[in-house]
Amino acid sequence: MAGGPAGEEGRPAGAVNGARRTAPPPRVPAWPGTPVPLGARFRTGPDGAAGTNFALWAGGAEAVELCLFDAHGGESRVRLTELTHEIWHGFVPGVRPGQRYGYRVHGRWDPWTGARWNPAKLLLDPYARAVDGDFTLPPEVYGHVRDWPERQVADTVRDDRDSAPYVPKGVVVHDDDDWSDDHRPKTPWADSVIYELHVKGFTRLHPDIPEPLRGTYAGLAHPAAIEHLVRLGVTAVELLPVHQFAHESHLLDRGLRNYWGYNSIGYFAPHAAYAAAGTTGGQVGEFKRMVRALHAAGIEVILDVVYNHTAEAGELGPTLSLKGIDNRGYYRLQPDPRRYADYTGCGNTLHVVQPQVLRLITDSLRYWVTEMGVDGFRFDLAAALARSMHDVDMLSPFLAVIAQDPVLRRVKLIAEPWDVGSGGYQVGAFPPLWTEWNDRYRDTVRDFWRHALPDVREMGYRLSGSSDLYAWGGRRPYASVNFVTAHDGFTLRDLVSYQHKHNEANGEGNRDGTDDNRAWNCGAEGETDDGRIRALRRRQVRNLLTTLLLSTGVPMLVAGDELGRTQGGNNNAYCQDNELGWVDWSLLEDPGWRAVSELTARLIGLRHEHPVLRRRAFFSGRAHSADGLRDLAWFTPRGTEMTEGDWFAPAATLGMYLSGRDIPGRDERGEPIRDDSFLAVLHAGERPVRFVLPAAPWAERYEVVVDTGREEQGEAPGEEHPAGAEITVPARTVLLLRVLDARHAATDGRTRPTR
């Protein structure tokens, strides 16, 4: 290979061409077609001719060629000659669903000004609704010469080798599904319990799912998978990314693959590797059938979406789609336009303030709602989307468009409210339409149960809905998505089994993954045969799950945590597409872990039964009746209400009283909502504590509903105690007690709405 001549000011320029010269591909004529909608749409054209309309926004491009591929990889090209508002378009008669295609976009090659057009590279349609093939990232798919000897300028030397044989193709899909038989659950936010899962990881090892369906959308739709979700009582699954994604080159070089999928390249296409029905369009129908099956079981579908960056990485990354269509239009560039602004830690950031980029994202979101049936989205690194030119701006174009969109403003919207750029941490700052992952809840609850909090002030806020973060602008307690674990980090079992990360299998020298785990291994690092340590770890798992499911806000569980799933201490299993990352269903054969699963289901059932555990408004902390009873009260082990000094003093025990008498709002019939009252006692100390049960007006008697110190068999204790009695709370235990008093009990079932 040889480089081209030097450009201005000594800049390397030109191209490298290692391809053999062959006859040019045959040309196919195109009719003018229309510039809308974008993408490939099969329809009836002029004179009743069936065909497909293709439309591609490519600002600044000089020419666009549509490339059609037959079953053997043979390529035919269609020159799109019509240009309307920077959209190149044409109608090709005879092109039907199943047709594989891509684009070649012509323009200047001048990386020094951010221009990276290279027609030798076949580009994926950003609006492709299905993708056939996998990204393996050989040198031919890079717009520049990947192995150029002068590394510092390699991205400026164009590579003219044809990438078509090495990249996946878009597939024409015909949308003709009738959703009239689908019934969306439409679960209110306050009643929601979210279950984060990976389509492949949740189903790959399930023994009751047929082998051909394991790891697929069809596998998640299988009755065996849905039965577990229904038994738990979760109201929504939050799927790790299912947009078509690519594997990073550094993983492929190490024989690994991207497992989580946070490396999107096709925002309209279900990831083809999760389809049992094939990759030439069958994945679309399979995904829709999965959504229908989950809806029929009363379960909503929320997608984890990655619109902040793409798989094309930085200037040394591959040219797969947007980079070759209009690099300067789609990506945020630095003042030196050779380089990319990176607020994501992944090499690039989409330029969301650009109208065409904003259109791509909102068109994608609406497509997944209206044509694929999903019920909401969790936005990865949402702060990057909320940036205007540089700073995070809660009046940014992205948030403004979402707020007024008649489709999107009605679905569930969850922000991961941070990015890696300056000023990117925005927990509590998103507008009222949004809910947020609350990492302060995660950190506080972890610290409490490892007895590392200096006092209990922070714990009080997190248990009661985080009013310090969300009680503004009309926001409600369900603005807080509470979680103790997520896909990113330790599993719940590993959180109580490992003090430090063990990510050696990732091949990065254990440098990847956070060091701030706030974990406690209960006395031994990793797995142990010590029965006392194992029993303590299970108790800690029960404590963390119970705390999560009794807290005000929206709880989020991670698939397999209720079974004791372990990743062997790996807190960054993004590249572990194997047994390490998959749910191990054989854990249910262990009576101890089966009891944890049963406790989880019982706690979720309590939430569904008792509106006092899923309030729609923040607590006031004020008395609403003459007897001085408040909707929320806090108690010390002495049975006395906490004083200002108690909140600032070191403590391992916290009593939280929730009154069912003072729940704001009315039920569907306009009646006041009445419920039982509860006392939760959380004790993180290493020794038992004597706790005096609050007397009148709080209660006359109490019944123990949950005792995490005695839940190994998954049975409720059921003991009763008179108010004012001193009881012993075992070390590291949560007690939930129901008030047995006619003044505090719900009057009838009508006033306690469930799912």
Active-site annotation, residues: 380, 416
DSSP characters over 430-475: S-TT-EEEEHHHHHHHHHHHTT--SSSHHHHHHHTT-HHHH-STT-
* Strand order from edge to edge, sheet including 678-683: 632-635, 653-658, 678-683, 733-739, 701-707, 720-722
Which among 199, 319, 321, 208 is positioned nearest to 268, based on CA atoms? 321
Alpha carbons 326 and 357: distance in angstroms, whole number: 11
Residues 6+ apart with CB under 8 A from 365: 305, 377, 407, 408
Residues 6+ apart with CB under 8 A from 123: 102, 103, 104, 105, 319, 320, 321, 324, 325
Alpha carbons 106 and 117: distance in angstroms, whole number: 6
For residues 251 and 258, the answer to whether their CB atoms sit within 8 Å is: yes
For residues 123 and 164, the answer to whether their CB atoms sit within 8 Å is: no
Judged by DSSP in three states, 65 sits in strand
Residues 6+ apart with CB under 8 A from 306: 241, 243, 245, 261, 262, 263, 264, 380, 381
Judged by DSSP in three states, 180 sits in coil
Judged by DSSP in three states, 563 sits in helix
Alpha carbons 328 and 648: distance in angstroms, whole number: 53
Reading the block at residue 70, the tokens are 């037959």
Which among 317, 319, 320, 347 is positioned nearest to 334, based on CA atoms? 347
Looking from the CA of 513 toward its CB, the CA atoms found within 13 Å total 24
For residues 101 and 56, the answer to whether their CB atoms sit within 8 Å is: no
State the pairing for strand pair 480-482/554-558: parallel
Alpha carbons 78 and 83: distance in angstroms, whole number: 14
For residues 630 and 622, the answer to whether their CB atoms sit within 8 Å is: yes
Q: CA geometry: angle at 735 spanning 653 and 526, to 5°?
A: 75
Consecutive H or E run containing 76: strand 75-80
Alpha carbons 509 and 503: distance in angstroms, whole number: 8
Residues 6+ apart with CB under 8 A from 740: 699, 700, 701, 702, 703, 720
Q: What are phi and psi of 231, to 5 degrees?
A: -65, -40
For residues 584 and 560, the answer to whether their CB atoms sit within 8 Å is: yes
Which among 132, 151, 62 is positioned nearest to 104, based on CA atoms? 62
Alpha carbons 429 and 434: distance in angstroms, whole number: 10
